[in-house]
Structure 1
């Protein structure tokens, strides 16, 4: 239901930027250019108005001055930070950015046993296998593995006092308290952000609370919450052809993370 509402009422951007951003751009530049565009629009609606023409010329002159000063200040700051230790590739990359010229980032090329891997699907599977190996039980010390297996086979006793906190259902107060602590992080594969959850109506928020209580009481767990979007970031100064030199960041469902926060706050 939430996913359908998001698709129907929340527009998505194409991801295409008609003009590439430059490092010297600032909010002041944005405001100044908007004022110039607004003055031009007023002039177009009232052609021949000399007062509006003068307003537009002043706004255009101010925009040119602000952009020129911002570009010069950014360039001076960058030049003052240069030293002999900066690689030439980084130097020219910065110069290209200053000029608004961007090279599209290419997918990583891995090297396994001296063989280069360039196919995107094979690269993704190779990285997944590498991270799976270092995250498996076999990568841990033998003593730790025995302790984990013993704890995993321990049968939990839930026949205690009925007043235990874990036997109570969650309330709207619990949900709102947890939601207030959530930042605006990127959503998972369902594309449902925290901002959307904060704007749910009373009926929808009650439905969500009922879902959380069913998960808690019945032990059911949505299969979609087990899926994450994995982003890989190369560690600074590391060889880009080695899979383990990338830091994986998992974007999981905000609905799942909100429920986890409720459990930690009220049942932890």
Structure 2
């Protein structure tokens, strides 16, 4: 299928993503209407009643339904307006000279229906609570440092040192089981065990691959085996990392 193209992997990705764009609807990661602090159950019920009366009027445009719609519309406006006032008064009463300005402005943004930017405000270290950016950064650096190879247990270091003294035999006729071509069952098993992580630079989610028919999986398997046989696997990985780095730089 892809024998005549210059870059079969890119062609496969392009075809798959184009089909997905045409057939799978996309949703935004950000909600269209951020939640407002004053919007409570009463507001929700009032707006729901207004929508129901509006639909009833459009389906049966009688004077009675029009009158009911106007009543529910006025009730919804009154309920939301009262909820806004009550919420704002409660917030104002809670403000003092010690209230941070950040909290005040965040509340104003939420009242307008705008979400405040989420930031790291604290980090729990045992029973201590770190709040300053410097303390948080130092604690994270300390934790990462403990994960380095210099912090292995002594018993593991001894085994590691002994094993590293053994010379490895790199001579092979490539007849081992791990050098054989991948099978369709192995591909399906690997996909079934894959977690639904975020998409990579190719924008192909694991769910797309998991729901491919066998004919498409066989094409993908052939591409993978061609890369495996040609020995271009390392080159492909380096190219992918290089292109990803360029995207981050730009």
Superposition TM-score, scaled by structure 2 size: 0.46
Structure with the largest fraction of helix? 2
Structure with the largest fraction of strand? 1
